[in-house]
Amino acid sequence: MCGIVAIFNNEREVTAESLDRAIDALVPRGPDEQNSWFSNNRRVGLGHARLSIIDLNTGNQPIASEDGKLHIIHNGEFYDYERITRELESRGHKFRTKSDSEIALHLYKEMGAACLEHLRGEFAFVIWDDENETLFAARDRFGIKPLFYVETDEGLSLSSEAKALFASGVEAAWDHESVFQNLFFSFDQDRTLFRGIRQLSPGHYLIAKREVLR
């Protein structure tokens, strides 16, 4: 497994310190390599803690598209990625790595959110689309890989674990209603035990633009 974190601010710049703290919190998930990337205006930061399994030499993340307009962070595994890679290459796509993660980047470039129709596996990923200033995040159909998020007045943050959101500066507090629901086994699928923090439901995706989440 790996760990991912994305911070998308409406106005303020994402600080290296807050992103680094979030990545550090994910090191147990990805002890082999930790990296980060910032958009030119610094309002978007992506971080990745990697457990190296596929493509040990060139598979570090975030991964950029060939034109540098898209960046992806991914936790999990895409099945049958070698066949999909060959099909994408036959349509003119040029890959930077041999990682299964990169297929989602190229499929998204071709078809946007419909890329999910061609992806099978256990995964959670975030793509930043710089040209359209859009963040796209998705989770596998069975919810095998986690993806937590919180929306505040400042913007949107997502991560593989709630503790990384806390490390980045999100206030840690119990959601008393969620705790009550959990005690009586009636827990809403997208709720967590923490105030303001949700988890993306299995088989769902979200799209975020500046001050807009849907």
Check: CB of residue 139 under 8 Å from CB of residue 204.
yes
Long-range contacts for 65-69 (Cβ within 8 Å, ≥24 apart)?
Answer: 65/105, 65/106, 65/109, 66/93, 66/94, 66/96, 68/130, 69/129, 69/130, 69/131
Q: Among residues 2, 44, 135, 206, which one is catalytic? A: 2
Residue 20 dihedral angles phi and psi, to the nearest 5°: -60, -40
2 is catalytic: yes
**d(Cα 52, Cα 190) in Å, to the nearest integer?**
29
* Coil, helix or strand at residue 49: strand
Q: Which amino acid is at 205?
A: Y
Residues known to be catalytic: 2
